[in-house]
């Protein structure tokens, strides 16, 4: 489902077919059925009229606890923006409440696509969400911190230059990644400031997103995968 995978398999003489990424189908279906206006979205979720910035700290508790406090530490520098956490029902509400104590921030559960539809920027934990933000054309900063031992093992065993799917697809930096010791409140603040105030930064990121979309090949991945399996079984 990712374009660089075909080249990897070919090194080991494994014949594979690249079909595209199923996220494109999911997002296309979402857009086709999405009729709510931004004003309605704000009203339903009790949001202010300030520009929205999405915080997407992951779908697992450990990810949340590692990334969200740093993200929250940076938002105090942006009083003119409404920050919203993309909450997941898979994580207990108390976990979020413990993290956001003392912060003026909203949580909206299981509406990540709706939130991205109206967000000006996003802070995103590495994973599928980095690609989702790109497909919604939202400039993002990728944030990730793992346990020290886990990070050392992965760094030595897996030889990759980037951690976000967006950058991996392009083989170059499209969005900035703040990894391990680089994930600090001050670094998040600086990167977010660029996203919100520097037009050239936003323009360059979105141009990179256009290239990502072209490489993914458009919707229809699931159908192409099914057709490929049928053809293989019939031959």
**One digit per residue, pLDDT tens: the chain, 235 residues?**
888 888 889 999 998 888 889 999 999 999 999 999 999 999 999 999 999 999 999 888 888 888 899 999 999 999 999 999 999 988 998 999 999 988 889 999 999 999 999 999 999 998 899 999 999 999 999 998 876 666 555 565 556 678 899 999 999 999 999 998 899 999 999 999 999 999 999 999 999 999 999 999 888 888 999 998 999 899 8
Distance CA(219)–CA(32), nearest Å, equals 13
- The Cα-based distances of 27 to 38, 46, 95, 142, 224 in angstroms read 18, 25, 29, 20, 17
The dihedral over CA atoms of 135, 208, 211, 71, expressed in degrees to the nearest 10, equals -30
* Predicted TM-score (pTM) above 0.85: yes
């Amino acid at each position: 489902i990712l374009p660089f995978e075909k080249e990897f398999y070919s090194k080991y003489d494994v014949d594979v077919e690249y079909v595209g990424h199923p996220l494109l189908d999911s997002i296309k279906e979402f857009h086709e059925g999405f009729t709510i206006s931004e004003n309605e979205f704000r009203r339903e979720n009790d949001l202010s009229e300030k520009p929205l910035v999405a915080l997407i700290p992951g779908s697992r508790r450990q990810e949340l606890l590692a990334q969200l406090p740093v993200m929250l530490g940076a938002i105090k520098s942006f009083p003119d923006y409404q920050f919203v956490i993309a909450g997941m029902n898979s994580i207990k509400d108390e976990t979020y409440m413990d993290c956001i104590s003392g912060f003026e921030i909203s949580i909206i559960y299981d509406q990540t696509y709706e939130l991205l539809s109206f967000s000006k920027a996003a802070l995103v934990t590495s994973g599928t969400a980095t690609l989702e933000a790109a497909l919604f054309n939202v400039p993002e900063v990728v944030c990730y911190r793992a346990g020290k031992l886990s990070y050392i093992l992965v760094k030595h065993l897996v030889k990759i230059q980037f951690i976000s799917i967006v950058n991996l697809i392009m083989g170059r930096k499209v969005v900035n990644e703040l990894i391990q010791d680089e994930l600090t409140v001050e670094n998040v603040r600086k990167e977010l400031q660029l996203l919100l105030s520097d037009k050239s930064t936003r323009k360059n990121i979105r141009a990179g997103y256009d290239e990502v979309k072209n490489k993914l090949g458009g919707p229809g991945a699931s159908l192409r995968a099914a057709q490929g399996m049928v053809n293989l079984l019939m031959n």
